[in-house]
Structures are given as structure tokens and as C-alpha cells.
Amino acid sequence: MSLSKTTTVDQITISENGTVFYRESTLIMEDGNQINQSFHRTSLYPAQDLTGIPANVVAICNTVWTPQVIAAYQAQVAEAEAARNA
């Protein structure tokens, strides 16, 4: 009996405001047969620290998060905070 666990990023989506969503799929295999699969979803916001994030997701974030996207996202957050505090 041989058990193995594999985790891969199987889905990446980018929203209009630059938020990057990704899904990790974890497969548990026994003797070549899948016995379990689970998913974990994560959201990343422009200029967020990417420590510990899978390399392929970091590459996409670094491409998408231009200075203009980061500035627009920060302005959107500031506007939402001002509206909440008004």
C-alpha cells in the first residue's frame, strides 16, 4: 500500500481591480487510485506580501500588479473606508 499527497494550483482568476484568486487542489492517492480530493481557495490583493505563495501565482501577481493597478486598488480601498467612516 503506497499513499501519496499532491498539492497543485489548478485555477487562477484575476478580477478587474487586480485581485488574484487561486485554488489549490490536494489529491490523496493510494496505489495510483484517488481516495480523496480537497480544495483551498486564496485571495491576494495588489501589493500584498507574497511570502509563501506558490511561484506560478507570484509570477502572475508580479505581472498583473503594475504601479497603475496598485494605485487604483489603493484608491478604491481608501474611497470605501471614507464612505464607511462618513
Residue pointed to by grid coordinates 464607511: 84
pLDDT band at residue 86 under the 50/70/90 scheme: confident
User: What DSSP state is assigned to residue 76?
Assistant: H
Q: What angle do CA 65, 59, 8 make, to 5 degrees?
A: 125
pLDDT in tens, 11-54: 999 999 999 999 999 999 999 999 999 999 999 999 999 999 99
Residue pointed to by grid coordinates 492517492: 29
Q: State how far the Cα of 72 lies from the Cα of 50, in Å rounded to an integer.
A: 19
Q: Is 22 helix (H, G, I), strand (E, B) or coil?
A: strand
Residue 1 has pLDDT above 90, yes or no: no
What separation in angstroms does the CA of 82 have from each of 35, 75, 78, 85? Answer: 49, 10, 6, 5
* pTM reported for the whole predicted model: 0.87
